[in-house]
Amino acid sequence: MKHICLSVGVALVYQRFWWKGAYTAVHAMNALQRYVDADGKKIQNGYQLFMTYRLGYHIQLFRNRFFLEPSVAMTQWPINTNVPESFTRLERRWPTYFLFEPGLHFGVKF
């Protein structure tokens, strides 16, 4: 049977610049999850804490108005409650973390 997980969450982020653009960051996302079947009927609700630990470098561009931040991250989901058995069977195949996720953030300073 096919099931779908819909997640809605809020994240808190702490970013620290250490030396000449090098930075670390920690992201903690609290997500409420709703599991539904293929017909869209709710099976149950759950909760997940999704963590990201990032190491990167901040590069200023075009008179310091724009920036790029290449990085590498580790993600993990240490708390994942009330998950349906159909999801749990699939999740058991892999660890609850992912190493060396590449990242590239870009932005504009206002």
Could you report the per-residue pLDDT of 74-84, keeping only the tens digit for each?
Answer: 999 999 888 88
Helices (H), 1-110: 85-91
State residue 97's pLDDT score. 86
Whole-prediction pTM: 0.79
- How many distinct structural domains can be found in the chain? 1
Spatial distance between the Cα atoms of 11 and 49, rounded to a whole number of angstroms: 10
- In 3D space, the residue among 27, 30, 41 whose CA is nearest the CA of residue 81 turns out to be 30
Residue 49 burial by Cβ neighbours in a 10 Å radius (0-12, 13-18, 19+): middle
State residue 1's pLDDT score. 56
Q: Tell me the residue range of the domain where 57 lies.
A: 3-108
Amino acid code (one letter) for 8: V
